[in-house]
Amino acid sequence: MSAPERIPPRSVTPTDAAADSAAAELLAQGELTVRGRIREASNAALFCTIALDGREASCIYKPVAGERPLWDFPDGTLAAREVAAYEVSEATGWGLVPPTVLRDGPYGEGMCQLWIDVQAEAELLALVEAEEPEPGWKAIGLAEVGEGRTALLVHADDERLRRLAVLDAVINNADRKGGHLLPTTDGRLYGIDHGVTFNVENKLRTLLWGWAGEQLTTEALDALRTLREALSAPLAERLTALITPAEIHATRARVEALLTTGVHPEPNGEWPAIPWPPV
């Protein structure tokens, strides 16, 4: 197994933030045109173009009308939770979720998210026939690979993934699969598909368990303190339109728990720790 390609992780710069803000404006106000459907998605996901004042971009539009009800997420909508995840990501300063808005579209209200072109060569996950991961990798767990054989599932020891693991712990992401990781050629890493998040019960399911029980980085603790302050007023006001008061309270509690313990969470055994299928 070769070492993962090292793309220097970076924080969001002022230029990045300005570009993301412009993208959010385009998504919210532009003319939305459906071009096709992403058939692999479990709920309606439409590939679109969005245009405004000579600017155009590709995006994903997920109408609320195309959502399948979930018994364990009875409140709100998948679309609103996706937007809430973007808002929380922005509050950390990490910019881990593509610009995402809630807006009206050809099939009613839905989530509209900027399309991200990925760096296909980036290697973030791997299966290895070994008991321990090589340097540069973190163990997730054993996986069946057929004919009674198992292999070790690992993810890259990448600071971008580590930031995403912290965000997932905050938003209580119940579905962090490998296909939801989007590395780009300019060194950023985005996470997508955040429809099953913010539950008041612990439902964290992720492939990013490699740092479980380890100390949070200084950067992560600083981001969590920034998030705690934002949740006391401006961010909480925006989240009120997207998730329930109980879910906002639970989000605050998860931030406080991470700051108090100072470590990445570990599976508690009360809920499957890894989503299925994992990729």
| Half-sphere exposure in the Cβ direction for 51 (13 Å, CA) | 4
Q: What is the pLDDT of residues 180-191, one digit of tens each?
A: 999 998 889 999
CA dist 27 and 223 (Å) reads 26
In this predicted structure, what is the pLDDT of residue 148?
67
Alpha-carbon Rg for the chain, nearest whole angstrom, is 18
Nearest to 198 by CA among 40, 83, 62, 116: 83
Going through 78-185 in order, the beta strands assigned E by DSSP cover 100-103, 110-114, 125-128, 137-146, 149-156, 181-183
Q: What is the pLDDT of residues 77-113, one digit of tens each?
A: 999 999 999 999 999 999 999 999 999 999 999 999 9
User: Is 145 within 8 Å of 127 (Cβ atoms)?
Assistant: yes
Amino acid present at 169 = A
Q: What is the pLDDT of residues 215-257, one digit of tens each?
A: 999 999 999 999 999 998 889 999 999 999 999 999 999 999 9
Please return the burial class of 232, using the count of CB atoms within 10 Å of its CB with bins 0-12, 13-18 and 19+.
Answer: exposed
* pTM for the model: 0.91
